[in-house]
Structure 1
Amino acid sequence: MPKWSLNSDFSLIHNPSSVWSYGSKPAGYHVTGMFSLFTHLDPEPKCCSEIVAWFGSDNVWYTHGLGVYYNTKPTNILMGSVIFPANGIAMHPSNDGRFSVIRFTAPKAGNYVLDATFTHIDTCASHTGVYIIYNNLITLWEIGLAGPEDSKSFKTTDKGISVKADEPIDFIVGVGLDNVYYCDMTLARVDIHLLDLLENQSGFPIITGSIGFVLGIIISAILFHIYYRYRENRRNANVGYQVIN
């Protein structure tokens, strides 16, 4: 059963890396907007070099915020008003409304189970928008975070969702209802697994139904044959009785 974890799979070298990509979408277009890859990874330059971030070509630390951030250490780190959990990944939108995006691209067709949690980690947090978008077409989830430490979770059913090979699922953080970007640092935890054939229950009803249909025909034929033989035996018995009399 293939599994992917945003935290354990985080790359300090490549973007994209395996199934994950880090980037952005333009303001106002969290669903259909064009996805732009971040281009470089930088360590925090003042106090906390253990915190690194993927940024676009127009951004560095303390410019406009847009990025995907990672705590490389297995311990919590306090950076200003932000508490970065151990090995945590956080997302922050831009001052011009652009969305921070982590994209999962399905390596093969199948049913995928998604399990995601987003949490405010800035002590001055107010409003933040969180979205999960399938294939630049369908909003799977849209929620607002409000206030410090607010946390919301999303999980598909155990059957997952059907995804074709190379189709993307975007996990997105935006400015939210207040349209203010500062204090929007949001922890993202995303775990995904692809159901194998035995787990994919969606195929079973068809198989079971087909077997039941065939068995029904066979049983009906047997019962009809028994009934037919019974009628024939009764008819022959009656004829024999009449001849004897």
Structure 2
Amino acid sequence: MTDLNALFRQRIGLPEEVEITFDLLDQILVSAAKTIPFENFCIVKHRPYPISRESLIRKILIHQEGGLCYELNMLLNFFLIEHGFHMTPMRGIVFNHETQTYLPIGRTHVTLLMTHEHQSYVIDTGFGGNLPLTPVPLTGETVTSGNGEFRITPGDGEHGNYVLEMKMKHKHTDWRIGYAFDTQQLITNLSELNTVQQIISEHPDSRFNRYPLITRRTDQGQITLTGTSFTQWEDGIMTKEPIDRIRFEKLLSLHFGLVY
């Protein structure tokens, strides 16, 4: 079996001798956000694949690609389980702030539920640029990271029994809904991830099957590249550059080390 522990540590720059503890999770989440991009290339290229522990290792750790929520969070799930954490993946539904409704695509966001010392937390490294970068407790307590403030509040029941809310640094002045999730509807079989992948690939309302998108965190903020633009956030200041296909390829190689 492929050595997930060694390969994951190598990908995010974590020495082998460092013990994986709860207090280290913030560092792991920040390092993963900077080194493993959120991207949809397999979906846009119509190249879905069976999701498994080995296929995720091959794609993200060996081939040095990124992925969407069901890939990034599941890889982290397997890594943390190896280090004794109690992890359970679950499906959420993302809120659309333009329409002020939950996405019609349904429960296609895969996130992680962690139980540690009788307390439950959401761990998420697959929510694009809106990553908490720290465990978020289900108690309602507000936690703060370099990406902003985050909390979990009671849900409406219809979409889930909890809601992840966020106040992104330099972007939001008030609380915004990220997604709802239900702790009673957990993922118990990897086949559900293939279902999520299929919906994201084929649903007409999917936001990830139209054009290439890749983003990752940087020391100064965040960079996002699409087929038509390159956006940088540096210390709260945003710059956006329109680009063509040639420029896209150059920026993809320069900032992400990938070829489309």
TM bin, normalised by shorter chain, reads: under 0.3
**Of the two structures, which has the highest relative contact order with CA contacts closer than 8 Å and spacing of 6 or more?**
1
Q: Highest CA radius of gyration, 1 or 2?
A: 1
- Under a length normalisation based on structure 2, what TM-score does the superposition of the two structures give? 0.26
More helix by share: 2
- Under a length normalisation based on structure 1, what TM-score does the superposition of the two structures give? 0.27
More strand by share: 1
